[in-house]
């Protein structure tokens, strides 16, 4: 068995092909070229002759393991991978649970970690008693229970769901030193299965002149929003499954509206009523929270679409770089208009960019994971990502964005300070020579 001699790493260290400044690499250069990555890790930790020795048994390899449970849960070594909560004692106000993007990977958010905002706690709904009514300007008012609805034609689609207030900390005039979870944790991505809303409206015999629906939930707030009939016929569903199983209580059990690409609050949870009407109802959330004053004194009403966005999750604030060498920069990109077309990544604060690999399948209105090989030289660096969607929209640069939309001193300690909605500009992570990662504006 050949032994690897100390000090010979350099001989395997590859002549990696750069595609942009400060160490961004061609993915092609990684393939079939020998020890390019271990070499690029710059330490001998991963190259050792000891591998040729017989393996030593760890304690868990010596005894019968734990019982196989009816429901699987993560290892006890993953207890830090949880949602962060804004209201853990269930005081009489709203509560946020944020997805830990810096600790997960791939594109799916597991149900345990899907973000959730609840304005009056989680209603404990008996699905055998819950009803959904479709009424208003229809020929035949309809009432559904979960069992009836489950017999209807179902469709399944991957889709992101994002609160209009996600990324609000980015409106801060100085970059807040918080994780991607704290900044961007109010967006998640799941596979939703439900009944096309168009089928329910056709069944009810919707008045062809009607333009709006009022969707109302069974929570104690009776949270309700106006939804254009056009969106109902485009791609809306009444969702009853999330990643295969019934909806989580915090995500609308037993049924919710799912409006692909539209702001989270409109995707009414615990759905109990769809009333077909002529005019929007001007509910609290649409008339106040989501009709936000802009710097020019005007407000955007019915600003439903979640615009194209991306952010790097690995590496990011909360991680520490383990010395110079190879890293796989990755993150998520998504757009309420459709598919992601391109994600560019920079490692030099935006001076040069290279196109990231997009993980197939690239699905409309869903997370796309992007990845970019990077050899960090141990010097200060700023990494950032920027996305484009198939409709031609681009993620704006921060200076352009805040010039249009404004910024504020502290959007977190006082969440009533505006602006705090629909932030979709670039996130930048600054890495210093010690490998510490900060949130920066570049």
Q: Hey, which residues between 132 and 161 contact a copy of itself (CB under 8 A)?
A: 133-136, 139-144, 147-148, 151-156
Judged by beta carbon, residue 279 or residue 400, the one nearer a copy of itself is 279
- DSSP-derived secondary structure letter, 342: E
- Could you say whether residue 328 binds a copy of itself (CB under 8 A)? yes
At closest approach, how far in Å is the CB of 206 from a copy of itself?
Answer: 10
Out of 74, 295, 380, 415, the only residue in the binding site for a copy of itself (CB under 8 A) is 74
Site for a copy of itself in 5-64 (CB under 8 A): 12, 27, 30-38, 41, 45-52, 55, 58, 60-64
- Could you say whether residue 69 binds a copy of itself (CB under 8 A)? yes
Q: Which of 209, 172, 119, 235 is nearest to 427 (CA)?
A: 172
Site for a copy of itself in 220-239 (CB under 8 A): 220, 222
Site for a copy of itself in 288-317 (CB under 8 A): none
**89 Cβ contact list (under 8 Å, min separation 6):** none
- Could you say whether residue 126 binds a copy of itself (CB under 8 A)? yes
Name the burial class of residue 105, with classes exposed (0-12), middle (13-18) and buried (19+) by CB atoms within 10 angstroms of its CB.
middle
Site for a copy of itself in 359-418 (CB under 8 A): 359, 361, 363, 369, 371, 373
Site for a copy of itself in 247-266 (CB under 8 A): 248-251, 253-254
Out of 102, 114, 256, 422, the only residue in the binding site for a copy of itself (CB under 8 A) is 114
DSSP-derived 3-state class of residue 154: coil
Phi, psi of 409 (to 5 degrees): -75, -45
- Binding segment for a copy of itself (CB under 8 A), chosen from 117-125, 280-288, 335-343, 397-405, is 117-125
**250 Cβ contact list (under 8 Å, min separation 6):** 97, 114, 116, 118, 122
- Binding segment for a copy of itself (CB under 8 A), chosen from 78-86, 167-175, 395-403, 419-427, is 78-86
At closest approach, how far in Å is the CB of 377 from a copy of itself?
Answer: 15
Site for a copy of itself in 178-217 (CB under 8 A): 191-193, 198-199, 202-205
Cβ(188)–Cβ(115) under 8 Å?
Answer: yes
DSSP-derived 3-state class of residue 199: helix
CA distance 344 to 105: 19
CA distance 26 to 18: 6
CA distance 164 to 82: 22
Judged by beta carbon, residue 144 or residue 304, the one nearer a copy of itself is 144
């Amino acid at each position: 068995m050949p032994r690897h001699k100390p000090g010979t790493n350099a001989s395997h260290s590859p002549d990696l092909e750069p595609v942009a400044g400060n160490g961004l690499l061609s993915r092609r250069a990684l393939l079939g070229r020998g020890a390019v990555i271990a070499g690029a890790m710059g330490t001998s930790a991963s190259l050792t002759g000891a591998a040729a020795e017989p393996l030593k048994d760890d304690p868990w390899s010596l005894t019968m393991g734990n019982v196989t449970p009816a429901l699987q849960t993560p290892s006890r070594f993953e207890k830090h991978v949880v949602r962060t909560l804004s209201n853990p004692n269930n005081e009489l106000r709203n509560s946020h649970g944020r997805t830990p993007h810096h600790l997960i990977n791939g594109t799916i958010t597991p149900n345990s970690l899907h973000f959730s905002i609840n304005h009056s706690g989680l209603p404990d709904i008996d699905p055998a008693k819950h009803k959904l009514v479709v009424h208003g300007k229809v020929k035949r008012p309809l009432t559904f229970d979960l069992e009836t609805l489950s017999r209807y034609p179902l469709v399944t689609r991957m889709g992101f769901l994002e609160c209009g207030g996600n990324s609000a900390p980015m409106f801060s005039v100085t970059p807040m030193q918080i994780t991607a979870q704290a900044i961007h944790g109010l967006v998640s991505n799941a596979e939703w299965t439900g009944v096309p809303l168009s089928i329910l409206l056709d069944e009810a015999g919707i008045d062809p002149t009607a333009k709006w629906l009022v969707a109302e939930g069974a929570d104690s707030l009776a949270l309700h929003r106006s939804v254009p009939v056009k969106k109902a016929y485009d791609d809306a569903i009444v969702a009853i499954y999330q990643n295969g199983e019934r909806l989580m209580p915090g995500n609308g059990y037993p049924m919710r509206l799912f409006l692909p690409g539209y702001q989270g609050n409109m995707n009414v949870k615990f759905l109990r009523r769809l009333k077909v009407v002529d005019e929007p109802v001007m509910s609290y959330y649409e008339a106040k929270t989501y009709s936000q004053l802009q710097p020019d004194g005007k407000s955007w009403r019915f600003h439903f679409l979640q615009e194209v966005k991306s952010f790097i999750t690995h590496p990011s604030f909360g991680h520490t770089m383990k010395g110079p060498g190879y890293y796989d920069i990755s993150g998520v990109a998504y757009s309420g208009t459709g598919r992601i077309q391109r994600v560019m990544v920079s490692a030099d604060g935006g001076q040069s960019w290279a196109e990231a690999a997009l993980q197939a399948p690239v699905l409309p209105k869903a997370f796309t994971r992007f990845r970019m090989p990077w050899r960090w030289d141990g010097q200060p660096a700023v990494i950032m990502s920027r996305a484009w969607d198939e409709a031609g929209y681009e993620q704006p640069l921060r200076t352009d964005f805040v010039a249009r939309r404004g910024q504020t001193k502290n959007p977190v300690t006082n969440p009533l300070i505006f602006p705090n909605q629909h932030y979709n500009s670039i996130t930048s992570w600054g890495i210093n020579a010690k490998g510490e990662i900060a949130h920066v504006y570049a």
